[in-house]
């Protein structure tokens, strides 16, 4: 289970200071009354950025591990929230996703770039839609895009700030901002009464 490590450290300072060493977990999320003897369970390394580690704990009674993710890092995606936001800013300012792909991930083919972009774009748009409903401090005319949120919040980078504002809802918000499940693409149900291909039966 992923939890929030509230910090304003950028990723460079987080790695340089080895900030994961000082992270504490005051109580077990599964057993706030205590008695489960939750213990530190080392760290795990992020694939990217290189050198970033995440503090981890283990509850033997609940057979569950917990990790505390710093506000600068994205959840279930490599890299930082600012990197995710930068990509989506390029998509939002381009005339189309295909046009944006011309300047993103030049090392892979166009279909692969589009899939890579949509894995970031779809959950972020869903998150912004949810936050418009969940955060009463946002203006009524706020739209689910970064330019509208930047204007409403008066900040340069939206995602790290939203991780703080939306901290009570992180367990239901999708990654890379929240710690909830990834949204599933809608699949149309097959019509069991649809005729099979081929000639009509006699």
How far is it, in rounded angstroms, from Cα 103 to Cα 81?
19
From 177, 140, 151, select the one nearest 162 (Cα to Cα): 177
> What does the block give as tokens for 163?
């991780």
Q: Which residue has the tokens 């890299």?
A: 79
Predicted confidence pLDDT, tens digits, the chain (202 residues): 999 999 999 999 999 999 999 999 999 999 999 999 899 999 999 999 999 999 999 999 999 999 999 999 999 999 999 999 999 999 999 999 999 998 888 889 999 999 999 999 999 999 999 999 999 989 988 999 999 999 999 999 999 999 999 999 999 999 999 999 877 655 545 554 454 555 555 5
**Is residue 165 within 8 Å of residue 157, measured between CB atoms?**
no
- pLDDT confidence of residue 178: 97
């Amino acid at each position: 289970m992923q939890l929030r490590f509230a910090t304003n450290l950028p990723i460079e300072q987080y790695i340089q200071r080895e900030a994961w060493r000082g992270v504490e977990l005051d109580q077990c999320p599964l057993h706030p009354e205590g008695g489960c003897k939750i213990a530190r369970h080392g760290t795990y390394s992020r694939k990217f950025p290189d050198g970033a580690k995440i503090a981890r704990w283990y509850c033997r009674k609940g057979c569950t591990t917990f990790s505390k993710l710093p506000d600068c890092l994205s959840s279930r995606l490599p890299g930082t929230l600012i990197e995710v936001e930068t990509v989506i800013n390029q998509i939002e300012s381009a005339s189309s996703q295909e046009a944006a792909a011309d300047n993103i991930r030049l090392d892979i083919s166009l279909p692969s770039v589009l899939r890579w972009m949509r894995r970031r774009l779809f959950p972020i748009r869903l998150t912004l839609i949810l936050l418009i409903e969940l955060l009463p401090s946002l203006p009524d005319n706020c739209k689910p895009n970064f330019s509208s949120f930047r204007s409403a919040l008066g900040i340069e980078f939206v995602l790290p700030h939203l991780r703080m504002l939306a901290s009570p809802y992180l367990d239901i918000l999708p990654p890379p901002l929240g710690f909830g499940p990834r949204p599933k693409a809608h699949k149309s149900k097959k019509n069991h009464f649809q005729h099979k291909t081929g000639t009509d039966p006699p």
